[in-house]
Amino acid sequence: MTKNGLVDSGVQLNPELVLKPTPQNGNIREEEQMMDYELSEEHLMIQKTIRAFVKKEFTREIILELDEKQEFASDPFKKMAELGMLGTCIPTKYGGGGSDLLSVFIIHEEISRVFPSFAVDLELHTPTVDYGLINRFGTEAQKQKFLPAMCKGEIIGALGMTEPGGGSDVGNFKTKAVKDGEYYILNGSKCFITNVGCPMPCICVVLAHTDKSKGSNGMSTFLVEKDTPGFNVGRKHNKLGVRSSQTHEIFLEDCRIPKENLLGNEGAGMKQALMGVNYDRLMDVAIPVGEAQGLLDMTLEYANLRETFGKRLNQREAVQIALAEIYTNIHAARLMGYYVCWLDRVGRTGKEFVVATAMAKHFASHIAQMAAWECMKIYGGHGFMKDNMIEMFFRDNMAIDLGAGPPTILALLIARDLLRVYGIDPFHEK
């Protein structure tokens, strides 16, 4: 096995199943509306570049130290910007790569194959905050102000939705924003917020009630810079998995935000935040796909070396069958993710995008957890030990399932769509 867990022989990502690049975020020709699985030169180049980058930056020793100390990988984040790997799908006029969401999916998959924690920091920055929120709903002035700095890695993006009172029940949040002349004044608290505690400037999209009487239609999103007085970053959460990813509390205490920092229109916040979460959710497909691929990489190498009762483990049919199951599941989950990228590429970002993303995340997190357990069993006791990457992947997998829509919430979303397709009212009492 190589030091960072990548295997050079045997297991390669399936490069043939990638779409062609988007000319410029939409605006595509009619013939390109067809699904096309040919790998574009651009996607291949991005895949090759990020794979080499990850291999160089994240050695086994570095990963284990960052995980143990719960430290953010600051240098690799800056180097990603130098490589043009932050804001890949942001239009070039704002300093981005002008590519499509599939490029970002590939980047997250490749990182997660080696170090999933770093992909969790990245997914909130791009595509959730830059592409899913600011580029989609921001004013021209907001895009000019924040996107180039985000692409250069000068500021990191964060999304402040979840509150101590509950994450799934968004309408029940307590944080409120009251208009005061040219400002809004924010009060409330958030928890489990990725990236706000990174040792660098941060732009946090905060969801708050502007008119509680209107319920979810009275919520708005605000672009809040971390150094704003009254925006206080609280304690760091000590986590089971993705430990290098920074997760903190936030306290908003009379935090005064200029009205220009309202994202989109007042009252549209809930819809915007949920749309942003969909991009987070899509990366929560790429991450478990990468995790499962990384587990497979390591386990194939190990099963090729380990001998029991005079035979190598990979010569045992029971092991081969387990590996075949993982391999097939990765392929299926990856295709589900690619399909969602294609929906975005052709502008089909309504309900089918939401449901397809939920299905893909639901499936991908499940198969990655299965892969982690199967691989740990193939490794035996060695897989359980801390200096082995299998153990870290086993823990990291859990976070992906819980964040951005836990399994039951996604299952309910999918079930409601299913029932509606069959003309059944999911809320009918009888």
Ligand X SMILES: Cc1cc2nc3c(=O)[nH]c(=O)nc-3n(C[C@H](O)[C@H](O)[C@H](O)COP(=O)(O)OP(=O)(O)OC[C@H]3O[C@@H](n4cnc5c(N)ncnc54)[C@H](O)[C@@H]3O)c2cc1C
HSE-CB for 403 with a 13 A CA cutoff: 31
Interface with ligand X, residue 399, by CB under 6 A: yes
Query: In the bound complex, what is the minimum distance in angstroms from residue 160's beta carbon to ligand X?
Result: 6
| DSSP-derived 3-state class of residue 197 | coil
Would you give the distance in Å from CA 145 to the centre of its chain?
A: 24
Interface with ligand X, residue 124, by CB under 6 A: yes
Size of the site for ligand X (CB under 6 A): 22
Query: In the bound complex, what is the minimum distance in angstroms from residue 165's beta carbon to ligand X?
Result: 8
Written as one letter, the residue type at 219 is: M
Q: How many CB atoms lie within 10 A of CB 30?
A: 6
Interface with ligand X, residue 402, by CB under 6 A: yes
Beta pairing, strands 202-209 & 156-160: parallel
CB nearer ligand X, residue 33 or residue 168: 168
Query: In the bound complex, what is the minimum distance in angstroms from residue 221's beta carbon to ligand X?
Result: 11
d(CA 152, CA 133): 18
Q: Are 196 and 232 in contact (CB under 8 A)?
A: no
Query: In the bound complex, what is the minimum distance in angstroms from residue 222's beta carbon to ligand X?
Result: 14
Q: 218-257 mask for ligand X (x: CB under 6 A)?
A: ------------------------x----x----------
Helix axes 351-379, 389-402, angle to 10 degrees: 150
Rule CB under 6 A: which of 133-172 touch ligand X? 159-162, 166-169
Query: In the bound complex, what is the minimum distance in angstroms from residue 110's beta carbon to ligand X?
Result: 20
Interface with ligand X, residue 404, by CB under 6 A: yes
Quick one: which of 194, 329, 349, 388 contacts ligand X (CB under 6 A)?
194
| DSSP-derived 3-state class of residue 192 | strand
Query: In the bound complex, what is the minimum distance in angstroms from residue 328's beta carbon to ligand X?
Result: 27
Secondary structure, 3-state, 204-239 = EEEEEECCHHHHHHHEEEEEEECCCCCEEEEEECCC
Which pair of tokens denotes residue 264? Answer: 């989109």
Q: Which residues bind ligand X (CB under 6 A)?
A: 124, 159-162, 166-169, 192-194, 242, 247, 399, 402-404, 406, 408-409, 412
